[in-house]
A = this chain, B = another copy of it.
Amino acid sequence: MKKTVGVILLTYGLSLAVSTAGAAQKPVEPIAPATGINQAKAELGKKLFFDPRLSKSGFISCNSCHNLSRGGTDNLKTSIGHNWQQGPINSPTVLNSSMNFVQFWDGRAKDLQDQAGGPIANPGEMAFSHDLAEEVLQSIPGYVAEFKNVFGKDRIAIDQVTDALAEFEKTLVTPNSRFDQWLKGDKEALTAEEQAGYTLFQESGCISCHYGMAMGGGSFYKMGMVEEFKANSPSQGRKDVTGKEEHYFMFKVPTLRNVELTSPYFHDGSARTLSQAVDTMARHQLGKKFTQEENGQLVAFLKTLTGEQPSFPLPILPPSSETTPRPKPFE
């Protein structure tokens, strides 16, 4: 294992000092472009992602809370759901979410497809049902034709819906950030301050959890490992899924990619700025207190993680037909 790490480190030109830190056994890697995408399925999924007809109100789409104009988030502490309900938890970014080892903060979905069905049927989010979603889509000739083309069947099923949504989400990777350019050998891509931030990121132990291509998304860790964290959220983390006391307040480590775009931070959205987030992480996870200079270096580094945002024409949705069940926003 050590040898492999060494190869990766050399490949990406990291200093030897890093390889001696235990954390470096889980290296950070540049984001690779999405490959193996079924384009027709992803195109269908893109339409579905933007289609508010998958909600009871006809007003909320996946893109409402995972806004691709805004880093794949809604930039709210917790989301707004059907009838303006306040959600219990901060919406994680959909960008690079294919790299998460499980989905949702508490990991209750094993993959993107498993996740995609959740919000549609959640009474506090889109407040629809899988049956109604199928009925609506089946009544729209443009969708019937497109599902037929992709899946070869006349009947639209929710599994196809979530499959297409997941395929689209797999395309939402953000390669070529300045940090990735630097990792690949462009030594001019980062300033001295930003490089100092990365050194600190490794040596302080941030990298122990925020590793891999997504710099996160690979493990559960307790929020408040060193100092207890009091959250403005009812979530108990992983314990809500397993019921086990030792999983209390274990959350999936979020990706740091595009973190400049995805404020506020943490599962309860309590950190308003990157500076606050760095400070809280240091205190609660590492038992450290960074100087103002160090905090600034880390923030500067984190801002280099903004990659190329997905770019595609705004999808045009097929019109409803006379038989399409109408939305019920006020019932």
Contacts and interface: CB of A to CB of B under 8 A. Distances in A.
Contacts of A275: 322
A69 B314 contact: yes
A84 B80 CA distance: 10
Contacts of A272: 322, 326
Q: Identify which of A52, A264, A310 gathers the most chain B CB atoms within 10 Å of its CB.
A: A52
Count identical subunits in the complex.
Answer: 2
Contacts of A57: 76, 80
B59 A322 contact: no
Given A76-B327, A86-B330, A314 B317 contact: no
Contact of A320 (B263, B310, B311, B312): B263
A50 B76 contact: no
A68 B315 CA distance: 9
Contact of A261 (B71, B273, B319): B319
Interface string A207-240: 0000000000000000000000000000000000
A83 interface: yes
Given A311-B313, A314-B312, A316-B309, A59 B80 contact: yes
A112 to B, nearest CB: 20
Contacts of A167: none
Nearest to A299: B322
Contacts of A59: 64, 74, 76, 80
B273 A322 contact: yes
B313 A312 contact: yes
B84 A320 contact: no
Nearest to A273: B322
Contact of A69 (B264, B273, B311, B317): B317
Nearest to A274: B322
A219 B119 CA distance: 44
A75 interface: yes
Given A80-B329, A329-B80, A68 B309 contact: no
A83 to B, nearest CB: 5
A313 B313 contact: yes
A70 interface: yes
Contact of A260 (B52, B76, B311, B319): B319
A86 B74 CA distance: 22
A69 B316 contact: yes
Contacts of A117: none
A118 interface: no
A75 B320 contact: yes
A58 interface: yes
A150 to B, nearest CB: 19
A74 B329 CA distance: 12
Closest 8 CB pairs of A and B: A84-B84, A273-B322, A309-B316, A69-B317, A311-B313, A261-B319, A314-B314, A59-B80
22 contacts: A51-B69, A52-B67, A52-B74, A59-B80, A69-B315, A69-B316, A70-B319, A76-B327, A76-B329, A80-B329, A83-B84, A84-B84, A86-B329, A263-B320, A274-B322, A275-B322, A309-B316, A310-B314, A311-B313, A311-B314, A313-B313, A313-B314
